[in-house]
Amino acid sequence: MSDLEVDMVVVGAGPVGLYAAYYAGFRGMSIAVVDSLPEPGGQVAALYPEKLIHDVAGLPGVRGRDLVKSLLRQAESYAPRWLLGQSASTIERLGDGRIRLHTTTGTEVVTRSIVLAAGIGTFRPRPLPAGGEYLGRGVDYFVTDPDAYAGHDVLIVGGGDSAVDWALALEPIARTVTLVHRRERFTAHEASVAELRRSRATVRTPYVVHALSGDREVSRAILRGTAAGELHEVDCSRVVAALGFTADLGPLTGWGLRIVDRHIVVDSTMATGVPGVYAAGDVTEYPGKVRLISVGFGEAALAVNNAAVAGDPSAQLFPGHSTATA
Ligand SMILES: Cc1cc2nc3c(=O)[nH]c(=O)nc-3n(C[C@H](O)[C@H](O)[C@H](O)COP(=O)(O)OP(=O)(O)OC[C@H]3O[C@@H](n4cnc5c(N)ncnc54)[C@H](O)[C@@H]3O)c2cc1C
């Protein structure tokens, strides 16, 4: 018995996986999308949601999170099943040629084909050194809806682009914004750091989060200076832990795929060599590969159309024009 039976599983809800999900739906397939992160959007949502992307065809200067929102809306037109917060871990071949995919939370999905849009691998947010027990109770790894921070005292932890970008995005909305970083120097873009220093936000360096407290939800943080060890208390009803992510292909390395330098080798149909398993986006490797969103979108369409024909030899490779649909 499996929890779900679909025509295609897309592993990875980054930009390429979201587009593959749309495309599979457009081809009339039922779809499930698995991602190890609790939010869709892959690198775009996790690393640079506030940055403007200038090189996606037809969208001059689209903010990362707006691109993800549009891709989600497009994918949602075919109602995929979302299996977020769990990683695709193992596969087994069934007697009828289909594949049973197992996830790390114990979900089992039986499918005809899989598109691996796994980017640079399973993303895991780096945890806060203290206060992890407040995760989901005022502490988050992502800012999905900046308006949800209106009126809050927000503590942002980190020194990279996402920490600084989120501080800048929330500063006009939140009651107060405090950015804590364990070093004096930021790794974020210099112009963004300069803008932050001119803003209303309070910058505390070099400090780390020593402890969080609060009844049901977080309400206070104790910061500790990394140089002299002094303690400093701040009110905070929301904390954004933007300490970066680790990524690795993890369980996919046991699937019998050809992997070169942490990328999956594919042919011109995006087939991996494991029957029914295709790949698209940053995770793929072939001569001339360029790791860009626009390239990944094309690969997603190739992978889905070729998988459709492999799963049903009577199907056409050319999907028809989307303009022909109602
Ligand atoms: C700072 C920065 C700026 C960039 N700017 C641009 C730009 O201007 N233009 C451009 O074209 N590109 C840009 N890129 C590159 C672009 O973000 C990537 O090319 C794009 O995100 C690749 O999309 P993807 O869907 O293939 O992979 P990803 O975005 O990496 O998404 C892969 C998803 O798969 C999930 N996953 C992996 N393994 C598993 C598993 N086993 N089970 C479940 N889920 C799994 C991950 O959690 C992740 O969510 C930039 C990248 C960075 C870091």
pLDDT tier at 88, thresholds 50, 70, 90: very high
Whether 82 lines ligand 1, by a CB cut-off of 6 Å, is no
Whether 88 lines ligand 1, by a CB cut-off of 6 Å, is yes
Domain 4-124+246-324: assigned CATH number = 3.50.50.60
**Cis peptide preceding 40, ω within 30 of 0:** no
Contact between residue 119 and residue 44 where contact means Cβ atoms under 8 Å apart: no
Report, in angstroms and rounded to the nearest whole number, the Rg of the chain calculated over CA atoms: 22
Whether 125 lines ligand 1, by a CB cut-off of 6 Å, is no
Residue 1: per-residue pLDDT: 59
Kindly give the distance from the C-alpha atom of residue 27 to the centroid of ligand 1, in angstroms, as a whole number. 24
- In one-letter notation, the amino acid at residue 245 is F
Checking if the pLDDT of 318 tops 80, the result is yes
Checking if the pLDDT of 2 tops 80, the result is no
Higher pLDDT, 141 or 2: 141
- Residue 100's alpha-carbon distances to 11, 117, 144, 279, in angstroms, are 13, 18, 32, 17
Whether 117 lines ligand 1, by a CB cut-off of 6 Å, is yes
Whether 18 lines ligand 1, by a CB cut-off of 6 Å, is no
Q: What is the 3-state secondary structure (H, E, C) of the chain?
A: CCCEEEEEEEECCCHHHHHHHHHHHHCCCCEEEEECCCCCCHHHHHHCCCCEECCECCECCEEHHHHHHHHHHHHHCCCCEEEECCCEEEEEECCCCCEEEEECCCCEEEEEEEEECCCCCEEEECCCCCCHHHECCCEECCCCCHHHHCCCEEEEECCCHHHHHHHHHHCCCCCEEEEECCCCCCCCCHHHHHHHHHCCCEEECCEEEEEEECCCCCCEEEEEECCCCCEEEEECCEEEECCCEEEECHHHHHCCCCEECCEEECCCCCECCCCCEEECHHHEECCCCCCCHHHHHHHHHHHHHHHHHHHCCCCCCCCCCHHHCC
Domain ranges within the chain, ordered by starting residue: 4-124+246-324, 127-243
Domain 127-243: CATH architecture, name and number where available: 3-Layer(bba) Sandwich (3.50)
Kindly give the distance from the C-alpha atom of residue 168 to the centroid of ligand 1, in angstroms, as a whole number. 23
Whether 281 lines ligand 1, by a CB cut-off of 6 Å, is yes
Quote the mean pLDDT of the chain.
Answer: 95
Predicted confidence (pLDDT) per residue in 301-312, tens digit: 999 999 999 988
Q: Which atom of ligand 1 is the closest one to the Cα of 282? A: 26
Q: What is the pTM of this model?
A: 0.87
CA–CA dist 153, 155 (Å, integer): 7
Whether 36 lines ligand 1, by a CB cut-off of 6 Å, is yes
Closest CA to ligand 1's atom 26? 281
User: Which of 293, 294, 295 most suits a substitution to test ligand 1, by most atoms within 8 Å of the C-beta?
Assistant: 293
Residue 277: per-residue pLDDT: 98
Residue 49: per-residue pLDDT: 85
Kindly give the distance from the C-alpha atom of residue 116 to the centroid of ligand 1, in angstroms, as a whole number. 12
Nearest residue to 302 (alpha-carbon basis) of 23, 11, 1, 18: 23
Q: Does the fold of domain 127-243 match that of domain 4-124+246-324?
A: yes
Q: Which atom of ligand 1 is the closest one to the Cα of 251? A: 41
Whether 11 lines ligand 1, by a CB cut-off of 6 Å, is yes
Q: What integer is the mean pLDDT of 263-268?
A: 98
Q: Report the share of the chain in percent with pLDDT over 70.
A: 99
Whether 53 lines ligand 1, by a CB cut-off of 6 Å, is yes
Residue 196: per-residue pLDDT: 96
Q: What integer is the mean pLDDT of 213-238?
A: 96
And the tokens for 143?
Answer: 């800012």
Predicted confidence (pLDDT) per residue in 50-71, tens digit: 889 999 999 999 999 999 999 9
